Structure 1
Amino acid sequence: MFDLIIRNGKLYDGTENPWTRLDIGIVSGKIANIGDLGHEQARIEIDAQGLAVAPGFIDTHVHSDLLCTKPEIHKIKVLQGVTTELLGQDGISVAPVSELTKPLWQKQLKGLNGDIGEWPWHSIDEYLKFLDKSNLAGNVVYLVPHGNIRTLVMGFAGRKATRNEMQQMRELVEEGMRQGAVGVSSGLIYPPNVFADKEELIEICKGAAKYDGCFVVHIRNESHRSLEALDEVIDVARQSGVCLHVSHFKVAGQINRDKYEKALAKMDAGRAEGIEITFDQYPYTAGSTVFHAILPPWMHSGGTSEMLERLKDPVIRQKVKEDFQSNLDYENWVLNCGWENIIIASVSTEKNKRLEGKNVLQLAEIKGVEPADAAFDLLLEENAGVTMVVHWGNEQDVIYGMKHPLQIVSSDGIFGGKPHPRLYGTYPRVLGRFVREKKALTLEQAIRKMSGAPAQLLRLKDRGFLREGYWADIVVFDPDTVLDRSTYEDPLQEPAGIHYVLVNGELTVKDGEYLGTTAGQVIRRKT
């Protein structure tokens, strides 16, 4: 007697092999048998006739670090078939912290990760134990965030690290890896990571490489200097021995489109050299991040509080405006994409909720000031708790990257306000728009990019594939109807065509509805 049997479906095992017509029998949360189970019985049976049966999707770039503990909010991930998420992204996350750095991170991350009240942890181990005791709809994995360990060693200082400070950071990475993290992350446009040089990155990555971990990185520039930024992290991997994974790969701005193919060629060349390189990508031509990312790096020295104080100074404001117009030494969203393509996604206060969904030109018109001042004023009013959507690209380039064998699907979803539609729609969008409608990928290819490929990156030994003995993280969907319904104008729309989702063998989504199941686990690095 099985706990659950899935019958009559087309099995896509996560390897890109052609589908097979086999049943799956589940016992105690794991796949016990794959074969003809026509004469077997189970407590729960799912008839998957006409449906695809695939490994649960693994999202390699999310910002669910806090709200994964709120299943009534976080349920949108399992409703898309996502059963595992990689937390600790962009080098800016919730652990490790000290009593001194915790309030700084709580303030800086409120717009990005939300607010669940007090953080009853300091170390990565304590944070993961907190998640162990929380109600998780899906599984979570963690990266050691570069910014957190940097602030433990040197605060938000806007300078290069000394050799001794680098060594301390490396030791903190190793400690985090021993506590269960699977790699280290950085976001080289975000403070304090932006102040690190290549030597510092190499040193922290040696700490992850020692434990066969990955380096998941938002590169220093994704527009006019994207090729140089990619060269930097490839050399970090070359010199440290770490596995390199480039976050939400793109080249922003129409003027930079010629760099896209060249960047992919650099990754291929690195692979040919023997460096393990992959990248993830969301299936949209707009990005989303914290609104204060529009500011030049020097504005962030000392942390969020000092940045906000600087915004009150008219002389400093004028200098920032000049940077917006001509400075190519940082990821200048204003220069690359224009105020009209920068949209306010979420704010922290009720009084400014009406501004969510407006671009900065509209914001300026409402406030009766020029766009830069409207942006500065909003950051001050919201205590920096603002996120944005930035329209940067071309779908032809998205498809070109999607077809590349090193590509992995991710969402980079951010909760709150009027979010980027990728939060609600990423995985059904790939399956519906790009597999069924545009035929950019086969179904087998798409499923591998959502399951087997990320499992390989994260060294997950018993997930990501439909195999006997593996945990039963499974999604059952209709290839003919699966579709995202989330749009920029109306982003909080649940997808269609995802019929069933199992997390660790527990039925979590049935007939497209979340059942309230909290069977998710914290997945620690296997020693």
Structure 2
Amino acid sequence: MTDMLAQRIPWGAGRFCRAFIAAVCLMAGHAATAAVYELVIQGGRVIDPETGLDAVMNVGINGSSIQAVSAEHLDGQSVIDADGLVIAPGFIDLHVHSQTEEGYRLMVQDGVTSAFEIEVGTADVDEWYAQRSGGQYLNHGVGAGHIKARMIVMDDPAESLPTGPGAWEAATQAEIDEMISLLSEALERGAVAVGMGLEYTPAASDREVLQVMELAALHNASVHVHLDAGLEGLDRAIALAARAGGSLHVVHVNSAAKSLINQYLARIESARDAGLDVTTETYPYGAGMTRIESAKFSNWASWPDEEFGKFQWAETGEWLTRESFGARRSEGGIIIHHARTESMTRTAVTHPLTMIASDGFIESGTGHPRVSGSFSRVLGRYVREEGRLTLPAALAKMTIEPARRLEARVPAMRMKGRVQVGADADLTIFDPQAVIDRSTYDEPARTSAGIEYVIVGGRPVIRKGKLIEDARFGKGIRAPAPDATVGSPTPLELTQRN
């Protein structure tokens, strides 16, 4: 009966229908026991942030989907004993740059089952997914990147973030038209959202930003923005998103706001109260990381001497001085910026508006600990040790809220971030008394503790805390092509609206 209901009631029919199905599972245990599931997770504390379910249950999985959530016994061809463990939706990271095997290996051991590169994104969606088509440890997706499109159109010579015309030259309308064309193609090929880095492209005019946001709105895509500095940058982004009639996602609000974190969050809350679709995210660390040669630090020569002592060269851990900062900037590379207090971090992590996203990057063991520890750090430090978040509230920030941010454009996300009949079997099973991050700024590639099992597409990738090396069940997550009758706007159409 439960399986029939799951098939007949569309997933998009809303929370009530899904909650009804879950209730049927509880009441119809006799039906569930008649089946033998491919995998059963037995006797764990199931937390489903969407319906509020928080109880000791059994979960039955066939193929890549959840087929039963029941208090009654379930028979399985394979059984995981989850006594004393929490069964949660797999964690969804909306903002991570380590879209490599090394990064996926570390992230899945932190409980992540879906990871997205949106802020920087790509200008070639097909190529991005093709590079990862051989099988990965977790699900993955990419956004249409304004930074990348601007670098191509403006002929910026940098490989990563712009350092030349892509950062510093104002675009003509013809050049904006070229960017819109590239971004339109990326969206038509399934980019999950649009990414912008306004602090890295300071020459991008309001007109340019508005046209990108209007394009995103036409494709039902959220725009994930790295703000330029100060409250003025936030106000600008909110105002332009409102003019475009679009959806704005402010990335790493803690990094953008620093000591202004309370004011930033209040501004976002006011925008939401006014009916605007504005969301935000944070990572649970006091230090950020970026490229030293980027436009973000263009005014470095005017800083007081003590400011340079907040920076570490990621590769060696060296603390920088005015002289070494200048030398490293000429060289180019990754730095860690210790810019915030623990109080600022705690405010961002525990605020009801924020999701958790790592903004992680690591390469050959060099990077930031957030790529391998963000989610376990929240669960271990801010939930268990400090009691500043309840476990269901923390899990909502990692699962259902990021799923909802993308699901209007990406139907596949309606099946993720849930422990419900019919949902994708992407699950993280952890010990709430042991989960904690172990990565540090000196050892960013240390894996988290307490993540006992991770299920991706219905099959274990982590078993008893150990990575299964050949368990590459992750898939690319893409948006469907837009309705052919709608089509993409021409550059002229966008221009005429301004």
Q: Could you tell me the TM-score, scaled by structure 1's length? A: 0.77
Matches of 2:262 and 2:118 in 1, distance apart? 29
Aligned residues: 429
Structure 2, unpaired ranges of 5+? 1-35, 157-164, 408-412, 482-498
Distance 1:295 1:175, change over 3 A: closer
Distance apart, 1:12 and its partner CA: 0.7
Name the structure 1 match of 2:237: 233
Distance 1:294 1:151, change over 3 A: closer
Paired amino acid for 1:229: G
Name the structure 2 match of 1:8: 43
Distance 1:252 1:61, change over 3 A: closer
Deviations 1:223-279 (A, max 9, x none): xxx1101001111210112211111112679xx72x221111110111111111111
Identify which of 419, 423, 443 aligns with 1:470. 423
Distance apart, 1:487 and its partner CA: 1.9
Q: How does 1:368-447 map to 2 (within 5 A)?
A: 371-372=322-323, 374-380=324-330, 382=331, 384=332, 386-416=333-363, 417-447=365-395
Q: How does 1:12-23 map to 2 (within 5 A)?
A: 12-15=47-50, 17-23=52-58
Name the structure 1 match of 2:312: 343
Paired amino acid for 1:511: K
CA contact (8 A) 1:167 1:203 kept: no
Name the structure 2 match of 1:194: 202
Distance apart, 1:16 and its partner CA: 7.2
Distance apart, 1:335 and its partner CA: 5.3
CA contact (8 A) 1:56 1:83 kept: yes
Paired amino acid for 1:395: E
Question: In proportion to residue count, which structure has more strand?
Answer: 2
Distance apart, 1:172 and its partner CA: 2.5
Name the structure 2 match of 1:520: 474
RMSD of aligned Cα (Å):
2.0
Name the structure 2 match of 1:264: 265
Name the structure 2 match of 1:249: 253
CA contact (8 A) 2:254 2:283 kept: no
Q: Helix, strand or coil: the match of 1:228?
A: helix
Q: Helix, strand or coil: the match of 1:338?
A: helix
Q: Helix, strand or coil: the match of 1:34?
A: strand
Distance apart, 1:503 and its partner CA: 0.6
Distance apart, 1:291 and its partner CA: 1.8
Name the structure 1 match of 2:292: 291
Name the structure 1 match of 2:3: none
Q: How does 1:300-315 map to 2 (within 5 A)?
A: none
Distance apart, 1:526 and its partner CA: 4.0
Matches of 1:136 and 1:336 in 2, distance apart? 45
Distance apart, 1:510 and its partner CA: 0.5
Paired amino acid for 1:2: Y
CA contact (8 A) 1:5 1:44 kept: yes
Paired amino acid for 1:340: G
Distance apart, 1:211 and its partner CA: 1.7
Matches of 2:116 and 2:327 in 1, distance apart? 34
Distance apart, 1:379 and its partner CA: 4.3
CA contact (8 A) 2:40 2:76 kept: yes
Name the structure 2 match of 1:107: none
Matches of 1:208 and 1:410 in 2, distance apart? 22
Paired amino acid for 1:401: A
Name the structure 2 match of 1:274: 275
Distance apart, 1:340 and its partner CA: 1.0
Matches of 1:511 and 1:170 in 2, distance apart? 48
Matches of 2:219 and 2:341 in 1, distance apart? 38
Q: Helix, strand or coil: the match of 1:128?
A: helix
Distance 1:49 1:337, change over 3 A: farther
CA contact (8 A) 1:138 1:520 kept: yes
Q: Helix, strand or coil: the match of 1:31?
A: strand
Name the structure 1 match of 2:455: 502
Deviations 1:121-147 (A, max 9, x none): xx312322332x223100011111102
Matches of 1:183 and 1:446 in 2, distance apart? 24
Name the structure 1 match of 2:126: 125
Q: How does 1:14-33 map to 2 (within 5 A)?
A: 14-15=49-50, 17-33=52-68
Matches of 1:336 and 1:135 in 2, distance apart? 48
Identify which of 301, 319, 323 aligns with 1:359. 319
Deviations 1:343-370 (A, max 9, x none): 0002xxxxxxxxx101113xxxxxxxxx
Name the structure 2 match of 1:485: 438
Distance apart, 1:53 and its partner CA: 0.5
CA contact (8 A) 1:432 1:481 kept: yes
Q: Helix, strand or coil: the match of 1:509?
A: strand
Matches of 1:388 and 1:335 in 2, distance apart? 18
Name the structure 2 match of 1:147: 147
Structure 1 stretch displaced more, 287-296 or 266-275: 287-296
Deviations 1:417-459 (A, max 9, x none): 4422212211110000000111111000000000000000011
Name the structure 2 match of 1:324: 300
CA contact (8 A) 2:253 2:261 kept: no
Structure 1, unpaired ranges of 5+? 97-122, 298-322, 327-333, 347-355, 362-370
Q: Helix, strand or coil: the match of 1:2?
A: strand
Deviations 1:65-121 (A, max 9, x none): 3x1xx2x553111001000011142x3x5x32xxxxxxxxxxxxxxxxxxxxxxxxx
Name the structure 1 match of 2:77: 43
Matches of 1:336 and 1:60 in 2, distance apart? 36
Q: Percent sequence identity over matched residues? A: 31
Matches of 1:296 and 1:471 in 2, distance apart? 43
